[in-house]
Amino acid sequence: MTEASAVETDAVVARVQEAFGDRIRAAGVDYDQPWFVVARADLRALAAFLRDDPALRFTRLVDLCGVDYLTAGPALPHDARFEVVVHLHSFPLRRWARIRVPVPEDDPVVPSLTPEWPAANWFEREAYDMFGIRFTDHPDLTRILTPDDWEVHPLRKDFQPPREPHEWSFNPEEWQKAVQRGS
């Protein structure tokens, strides 16, 4: 685990593109982290490939979250509203890889990674809670952070509850009395 592999990050991208061809919608390397954009139908296959390929060995699921690109976001390689972003980590390569899956607004469903990656369980529940993205085959897709009876998805860009106005009151007589009391 402590020996860095000789495979460069560019070679990681090349290897994946060789195996998946057109199914990789976009790919690149940013800050030494390879990233791939795939359709949701290919998510499980790509994750399994990254995990099982003997030169890659991205065996650890680090993080899974959603992103809402509704408002003017960075230039995107797709036009879906949401993305599910998965970060995997490889011990021998000592790198993280990012898989980005576009999720359309009218059908926010993505295959769940939980059956093969138990670590994804709560992360997917959080993505469901915060964005409303549903994960098929998830053992328990319920809200995890917000109260169970809430129906909103707070991290969506169009969820902007009003800031609660605070009422401030200042009573000069009370203030004078307090000053005289010395407290």
Partner 1 sequence: MAVEPVEAEVTVQDERLVLNMGPQHPSTHGVLRLVLELDGEVVVSCKPVIGYLHTGFEKTFEAKNYHQGVTLTDRMDYLSPLSNNLAYALAVETLLGVEIPERATVARVILAELTRLASHLVWLGTQAMDLGAMSVFLYCFRERERILDIFEMCSGQRMMTSYIRPGGLAMDLPEGFEEAVREILALMPARIDEYEDLLTRNEIWRDRTIGIGRLSLADALSHGVTGPNLRASGGDFDLRRDHPYCGYEQYDFTVIVGSRGDVYERYLVRIREMRESLKIIRQALDRLPGGPYVTADRKVAFPPRAELATSMEALIHHFKLATEGYRVPAGQVYTAIESPRGELGIYLVADGSARPYRLHVRAPSFASLQALPVIARGGLVADLVAIIGSLDPVMGEVDR
Partner 2 sequence: MPAVLFSRLADWGRSQSLWPMTFGLACCAIEMMATAASRYDVARFGSELFRSSPRQSDLMIVSGRVSHKMAPVVKHLYDQMPHPKWVIAMGDCASCGGIFNNYAILQGVDKIIPVDVYVPGCPPRPEALIDGIIKLQKKIAAQGSEEGER
Q: Which residues bind partner 1 (CB under 8 A)?
A: 1-2, 30-31, 33, 35, 59-63, 65, 67-68, 72-75, 85, 87, 91, 94, 96, 98, 117-119, 121-123, 130, 143-147, 154-155
The number of residues in the chain equals 183
What are the residues facing 135 on neighbouring strands?
110
Cβ nearer to partner 1, comparing 16 with 127: 127
Number of residues located near partner 2, criterion CB under 8 A = 10
Which of partner 2, partner 1, none does 183 bind, CB closer than 5 to 8 A by kind? partner 2
164 touches partner 2 (CB under 8 A): yes
> Taking the CA of residue 13 as centre, how many other CA atoms within 13 Å lie in the half-sphere pointing to its CB?
16
- Residue 14 interacting partner from partner 1, partner 2, none (CB closer than 5 to 8 Å by kind): none
Q: Which does 68 bind (CB under 5 to 8 A by kind): partner 1, partner 2, none?
A: partner 1
Tell me the C-alpha distance between 67 and 9, whole Å: 25
82-90 and 60-68 as β-strands: parallel, antiparallel, unpaired?
antiparallel
Nearer to partner 2, 20 or 122 (CB): 122
3-state secondary structure at position 161: coil
Neighbours of 123 (CB within 10 A): 23
70 vs 119, beta carbon nearer partner 2: 70
Q: How far apart are the first and last CA of the chain?
A: 62
Cβ 116 to partner 1, closest distance in Å? 9
Tokens of 156: 């969506």
**Closest separation between CB of residue 72 and partner 1, Å?**
7
Task: Between 22 and 167, name the residue whose CB sits nearer to partner 2.
Answer: 167
DSSP bridge pairs for 100:
37, 85
